[in-house]
A and B are shown apart, each in its own frame.
Chain A
C-alpha cells in the first residue's frame, strides 16, 4: 500500500465486490468477497463474523451513548427545560413544557449572540490568513534540509508544543507577555513602561492567533512533509536536466504536489469555521473580558453550564451545529467542484 497523502481513498472505496478473492478461499472464511458473500445466508455470516462484531461492540456502545443519545437531548432547545422537575435530569425532559421556537427567537434577538458570531468569524479569518500558511512554509523549510540529523531534531522541537495542554500554553504566554511577565519586567527594569498584552482586548485576537501558531503550526507540518516525501525524485532530476533552477523546481514541482493537501485542509478548516479555540478562549475569558473573547462555543458554555439556562444554550448550540454541518458539506462540495478529493468521496 502506498503512503501517499490520500492513501486510503481507494482502499476505503473497496466495496466487497471489488476485493479480489484471495486464493484458497474455498475453505477459509476470511475472504468475504463479493458474489460468494452474497450467497452466504445471513445466519452463516453472523456466525462467521460474530467475534468481529463483538469486538466492535464496546466502541459502538460508547459512541451511541455519548454521541448519538445526546443528539436526541437537543429537544430541550424546543422546551422550557427545567432540570428540577424530576430527580433525574433526563426524566425532566419528558416533563418540561414545549414552547416551540421561542428560544431561537430569543437568541436571534440577543446582541450578545451576534457579537459572539462576529468574534468567531474574525478569529476564523485571522487564523486562515495568519496561521494557515505557516505550516506550509515550515514544511518547505524542513524539506529543504538535507542533513537527516538536523531535520530530525528540528522536527522534534517543532512537534513538541502540540502535546502541551492549552492551560500550559496560555500560562506560558501569560508569564512571558503578561503584565508581570518577563518582557514587561525587563522593560520596567530599564526604565520603560511595562505593558500587558494578555489583558488588552484590542490585540487579543492576534494574541490568540499567535498562541495557536506556537502550539500547532509545527504539528501541521507533518501532512505537508508526507506529501512532499511522496514526490518522485525523477521529476526534480528531469526538471534540472531541462534547466530549471531550484526556485523553478519549487514552483513547478513542489508546490503542485502540495496542492491537493492544501485544498483538503482548507476545506476542513472552512467547514470547521465556527469552532475557534474553545478551551483556549475559555481560559483567557476572565483576563481579557467577555467582549473580546466570546465566541459561539463559549457563549453556549456560559449560558448553559454557568447560567443553567439549558434550553437557551442548547438552542444556540443547535444553531451552531446546523450551520457548521452545512459549512462542512458546502466546503466539501466546493472541493469536489474544484476537482479535489475533499473530505469524503462523492
Chain B
C-alpha cells in the first residue's frame, strides 16, 4: 500500500513543472521593516554605479579594441578606435613572432612564476612557524618583521647593498629584495591561527611532525587565503618595473613593463619587428595597444576568480600590524 502511495507521489512529482532555477539576478526578499526603494533613488544609484563601471571599463575597451584593428580602421578613426570594424590579430602575431616584446613577455612570465613560488614558500613557512603563540622566539621574530612595516631603509642604501652583493644585472635583483612582504605573512599567519588547534593536536598525537601538519592539514584548509596571497605576489612581480630599471642595464633582460615604457611612453620602435609596420598593414598604435593588452590580460583574467576571497584574505590579518 505504502509502495503504491510512493509511486503516486512520484508520478505527481513528475507532472509538476520542474522547479525553476533560482534567478540570481533577482532581488532577495526584503525585510518587512525596510521600505521599498524610491524610483528616483534607484535611478540615481544606477547612474552612479554605471558611471563608475564605465569609467573603469571604457579605457580598457578602447585599448583592447584598438589592438585588434588594421591600420586602415585606426587611421580612419584618427587614433584609438571605439567601435571596432572587424577583428585582426596581426599586431599580436607580429609581437609574438620573436623580437623584443616576445622576449620581454617571457622574462616577465618567468620572473612572475619563479618569484611567486619562492615568495609563497618563504612566506607560508614563516607564517606557519609564527602561528603557534608561545613557541620559542615567537615574539622576537614577529617584532623583527613588524618593525619593518614602520620604517624602511631607504632607496640608496638598498641600492648600494644590491650592488655590493653582486646582484646587479641578474634576475635575482628583481626577486630577492622584494621577495617577502611582511603584510602577506601576517595575513597568512592569522589565517593559520584560525585553524582549529584540536585538529593540529590530533595530527600530532598521530605522529605527524610540523612539516607534515603544514602540508597535509594547514595548507589544504587555507586554499582561499593561499590563492589571494599568491595573486598579490604574482601581481607584484608582474607589475614591477622599478627594480629592473635601476638594477638591469642590459636591454635584452628587461621585463614587459619596462619594454612597455619604452614603446608606448617614449614612443620608441620595437626592436626586432619585421617591416610590416612600414608596409602599411600594421599601425604602430595597434602594436602599442597590443603590448598593453599583454600586460593587463593576465591580471584581469586571474583576479575575478580570486575575488570572492579578497575580503577574508585582506581582513583576517590585515589592517593591523
Task: Identify the A interface with B (CB < 8 A).
Answer: 1, 3, 5-9, 11-12, 14, 16, 19, 22, 24, 27-34, 37, 42, 45-46, 48-49, 51-56, 58-60, 62-74, 76, 83, 88-91, 93, 138, 141-142, 144-150, 152, 154-161, 163-168, 170-176, 180-182, 185-186, 188-189, 214, 218, 222-223, 225-226, 229, 233, 236-237, 240-241, 245-246, 261, 264, 278-279, 282-283, 286-287, 297, 300-301, 304-305, 310, 313-314, 317-318, 320-321, 324-325, 328, 341, 343-344
Contact = CB atoms under 8 A, between A and B. Distances in A.
B204 A223 contact: no
B226 interface: no
A53 B129 CA distance: 6
Contacts of A32: 132-135
B239 interface: yes
Size class of the B contact interface (CB-based, 8 Å):
35 or more
B302 to A, nearest CB: 8
A326 B319 CA distance: 20
Contacts of A214: 55-56
Given A51-B210, A168-B260, A64 B144 contact: yes
Contacts of B311: 222, 225-226, 229
Pick the 7 closest A-B CB pairs, nearest first. A73-B157, A165-B239, A70-B153, A32-B134, A90-B164, A59-B126, A55-B129
Interface in B155-175: 155-161, 163-164
A16 B190 CA distance: 16
B315 A304 contact: no
A5 B180 contact: no
Interface stretch (B3-11, B74-82, B83-91, B95-103): B74-82
Nearest to A315: B156
Interface in B102-147: 121-123, 125-126, 128-130, 132-138, 141, 144-145
Nearest to B161: A70
Given A16-B133, A223-B314, A343-B321, 18 more contacts: A8-B190, A66-B153, A66-B179, A68-B144, A72-B157, A144-B45, A149-B25, A158-B52, A167-B239, A167-B241, A171-B260, A174-B265, A182-B79, A182-B82, A226-B315, A282-B242, A310-B160, A317-B157
Nearest to A239: B33
A134 to B, nearest CB: 9
Interface of B: 24-28, 30-31, 33-35, 45, 48-49, 52-53, 55-57, 59-60, 62-63, 78-80, 82, 121-123, 125-126, 128-130, 132-138, 141, 144-145, 148, 150-161, 163-164, 176-180, 182, 185, 190, 193-194, 197-198, 200-201, 204-205, 209-211, 214, 231, 235, 238-242, 246, 257-258, 260-261, 264-265, 289, 292, 295-296, 299-300, 303-304, 307-308, 310-312, 314-321
Given A9-B320, A28-B204, A157-B53, A241 B33 contact: yes
B201 A30 contact: yes
Contact of B265 (A142, A171, A314): A171
Contact of A305 (B33, B53, B246): B246
A156 B309 CA distance: 12
B56 A158 contact: yes
A7 B295 CA distance: 36
Contact of B56 (A24, A161, A318, A325): A161
Contacts of A166: 239, 241
Contacts of A14: 133
25 contacts: A32-B133, A58-B125, A60-B141, A63-B148, A90-B160, A141-B49, A146-B28, A156-B307, A157-B52, A159-B307, A160-B303, A165-B238, A165-B241, A167-B260, A172-B292, A175-B80, A222-B311, A226-B314, A226-B315, A237-B33, A240-B34, A297-B155, A300-B156, A304-B155, A305-B159
